A and B are shown apart, each in its own frame.
Chain A
Amino acid sequence: MQITVTVNGSERTADVEPRLLLVHLLREVLGLTGTHVGCDTTSCGACTALLDGTPIKSCTMFAVQADGREVTTVEGLLQDGQLHPVQAAFKEAHGLQCGFCTPGMMLVGKALIEQNPSPSDEDVRWAISGNICRCTGYMNIVKAIQLAAETQAGASTTA
Chain B
Amino acid sequence: MGTEATEIRGIGHSVRRKEDDRLIRGKGNFIEDVKLPGMLHMAILRSPFAHATIKGIDTSRAGALPGVVAVVTGELMAQHNLAWMPTLSYDTQAVLVTDKVRFQGQEVAAVIAEDPYVARDALELIDVDYEPIEPLVTPQRALEADAPVIRTDKEDQKDNHIYHWENGDKEATDQAFAKADVVVSLDTHYPRSHPAPVETCGCVADVDPATGQATIYMTSQAPHAIRTVFAMVAGLPEENIRIVSPDIGGGFGNKVPVYPGYVVATAASLLLGRPVKWIEDRTENLISTGFARDFHMHGEMALAKDGTMKGLRVSLLADEGAFHADAQPSKFKVGLFHIVTGSYDLPAAHVSADGAYTNKAPGGVAYRCSFRVTEASYMIERLVQNAAYELGIDPADLRRKNFIDKDQFPYKSVTGFEYDSGDYHAAMDLALEKVGYEALRKEQVEARKEGRLLGIGLASFTEVVGAGPHKDYDILGLKMNDGAELRIHPTGKAILKISSKTQGQGHETTFAQIVASELGIQPEDVKVQHGDTDNTPYGLGTYASRSTPTVGAATALVSRKIRDKAVKLAAHLLEVSEDDVEFEAGRFSVKGAPDKVTTIQDVALAAYTNFPDGMEAGLEGVTYYDPPNLTFPFGTYAVVVEVDEETGVWKVDRVVAVDDCGVRINPMIVEGQIHGGLCEGYGIAAMEQITFDEDGNCIGANFTDYLLPTSWETPRFELGETVTPSPHHPIGAKGVGESATVGSPAAYVNAVIDALWHLGVRNIDMPLTSAKVWEAMQQAKAGATA
Q: Do A and B bind each other?
A: yes
Contact B26 A73 (CB under 8 A): yes
Contact A99 B282 (CB under 8 A): no
Q: How far is the CA of A129 from the CA of B281 in the complex (A)?
A: 22
Contact A36 B32 (CB under 8 A): yes
Contact B676 A96 (CB under 8 A): no
CB within 8 Å of A: which of B1-43? Answer: 16-17, 19-21, 23-28, 30, 32-33
Closest B residue to A73 by beta carbon equals B26
Contact A100 B714 (CB under 8 A): no
Closest B residue to A20 by beta carbon equals B117
Closest B residue to A86 by beta carbon equals B24
Chain B residues within 8 Å of A97, by CB: 250, 504-506, 672-673, 676
| A137 touches which of B200, B250, B676 (Cβ 8 Å) | B676
Closest A residue to B674 by beta carbon equals A137
Contact B26 A33 (CB under 8 A): yes
Contact B248 A132 (CB under 8 A): no
By secondary structure, the B interface counts as loop
Contact B30 A36 (CB under 8 A): yes
Q: Is B725 an interface residue (CB 8 A)?
A: no
- Provide the A13-53 mask, 1 if CB < 8 A to any CB of B, else 0: 00001011000000100001111111111011010000000
Chain A residues with a Cβ closer than 8 Å to the other chain, count: 56
Q: Given that A38-B198, A43-B704, A99-B249 are known contacts, is A140 also in contact with B24, CB under 8 Å in the complex?
A: no
- Provide the A101-142 mask, 1 if CB < 8 A to any CB of B, else 0: 111001000000000000001001110111111111111111
Q: How far is the CA of A131 from the CA of B25 in the complex (A)?
A: 18
Chain B residues within 8 Å of A129, by CB: 710-712
Q: Output the least CB separation between B399 and chain A (Å).
A: 25
Contact B26 A37 (CB under 8 A): no
| A102 touches which of B24, B195, B669, B704 (Cβ 8 Å) | B24
Closest B residue to A19 by beta carbon equals B117
Q: Is A69 an interface residue (CB 8 A)?
A: no
At the interface with chain B, which of A60-68, A87-95, A149-157? A87-95
Q: How far is the CA of A92 from the CA of B672 in the complex (A)?
A: 13
By secondary structure, the A interface counts as loop
Contact A136 B708 (CB under 8 A): no
| B199 touches which of A36, A90, A106 (Cβ 8 Å) | A36
Q: Is A98 an interface residue (CB 8 A)?
A: yes
Q: Is B247 an interface residue (CB 8 A)?
A: yes
Q: Is B699 an interface residue (CB 8 A)?
A: no
Contact B702 A43 (CB under 8 A): yes
Q: Is B642 an interface residue (CB 8 A)?
A: no
Q: Is B197 an interface residue (CB 8 A)?
A: yes
| B23 touches which of A20, A83, A99 (Cβ 8 Å) | A99
Q: Given that A39-B282, A94-B668, A100-B30 are known contacts, is A133 also in contact with B198, CB under 8 Å in the complex?
A: yes
Contact B676 A141 (CB under 8 A): no
Contact B249 A41 (CB under 8 A): no
Chain B residues within 8 Å of A17, by CB: 117
Q: How far is the CA of A130 from the CA of B23 in the complex (A)?
A: 20
Q: Output the least CB separation between A32 and chain B (Å).
A: 7
Contact A87 B717 (CB under 8 A): no
| A90 touches which of B24, B27, B505, B702 (Cβ 8 Å) | B24
Q: How far is the CA of A15 from the CA of B153 in the complex (A)?
A: 50
Q: Output the least CB separation between A33 and chain B (Å).
A: 4
| B16 touches which of A91, A101, A102, A131 (Cβ 8 Å) | A91
Chain A residues within 8 Å of B678, by CB: 137
Closest A residue to B285 by beta carbon equals A39
Q: Is B675 an interface residue (CB 8 A)?
A: yes
Chain B residues within 8 Å of A83, by CB: 24
Chain B residues within 8 Å of A77, by CB: 25-26
Q: Is B323 an interface residue (CB 8 A)?
A: no
| B710 touches which of A46, A94, A132, A135 (Cβ 8 Å) | A132
Q: Given that A39-B282, A73-B26 are known contacts, is A91 also in contact with B198, CB under 8 Å in the complex?
A: no
Q: Output the least CB separation between A37 and chain B (Å).
A: 7
Q: How far is the CA of A96 from the CA of B28 in the complex (A)?
A: 12
Q: How far is the CA of A17 from the CA of B371 in the complex (A)?
A: 47
Q: Is B758 an interface residue (CB 8 A)?
A: no
Closest B residue to A84 by beta carbon equals B24
Contact A134 B19 (CB under 8 A): no
Q: Is A75 an interface residue (CB 8 A)?
A: yes
Q: Is A74 an interface residue (CB 8 A)?
A: yes
Q: How far is the CA of A139 from the CA of B711 in the complex (A)?
A: 8
Q: Given that A83-B24, A91-B17 are known contacts, is A99 also in contact with B247, CB under 8 Å in the complex?
A: yes
Chain A residues within 8 Å of B679, by CB: 134, 136-138
- Provide the B247-266 mask, 1 if CB < 8 A to any CB of A, else 0: 11110100000000000000
Contact B28 A136 (CB under 8 A): no
Chain A residues within 8 Å of B703, by CB: 39, 41, 43-44, 132
Closest A residue to B714 by beta carbon equals A138
Contact A100 B676 (CB under 8 A): no
Contact B20 A141 (CB under 8 A): no
Q: Is B716 an interface residue (CB 8 A)?
A: yes
Q: Output the least CB separation between A1 and chain B (Å).
A: 15
Q: How far is the CA of A141 from the CA of B340 in the complex (A)?
A: 35
CB within 8 Å of A: which of B180-202? Answer: 195-200
Chain A residues within 8 Å of B708, by CB: 132, 134
| A38 touches which of B16, B21, B117, B199 (Cβ 8 Å) | B199
Chain A residues within 8 Å of B199, by CB: 36, 38, 46, 98, 100
Q: 4 shortest A-B CB distances, which residue pairs?
A: A34-B26, A100-B249, A98-B504, A99-B23
Could you write out 17 A-B pairs with CB less than 8 Å apart? A34-B28, A36-B32, A40-B283, A43-B703, A44-B198, A75-B25, A87-B24, A90-B20, A90-B24, A91-B24, A94-B16, A97-B504, A98-B248, A99-B24, A126-B712, A138-B679, A139-B716
Q: Knowing that A33-B33, A136-B675, A138-B679 touch, tell me 20 more A-B residue pairs with CB under 8 angstroms.
A: A33-B30, A36-B32, A39-B702, A41-B282, A41-B702, A75-B26, A77-B25, A91-B16, A96-B24, A98-B503, A99-B28, A100-B199, A128-B710, A128-B711, A130-B710, A134-B679, A137-B676, A137-B677, A140-B672, A140-B675
What residues make up the interface of A, taking CB atoms closer than 8 Å to B?
17, 19-20, 27, 32-41, 43-44, 46, 73-75, 77-78, 83, 87, 90-92, 94, 96-103, 106, 121, 124-126, 128-142
What residues make up the interface of B, taking CB atoms closer than 8 Å to A?
16-17, 19-21, 23-28, 30, 32-33, 117, 195-200, 247-250, 252, 281-283, 503-506, 668-669, 671-673, 675-680, 702-704, 708, 710-712, 714, 716-717
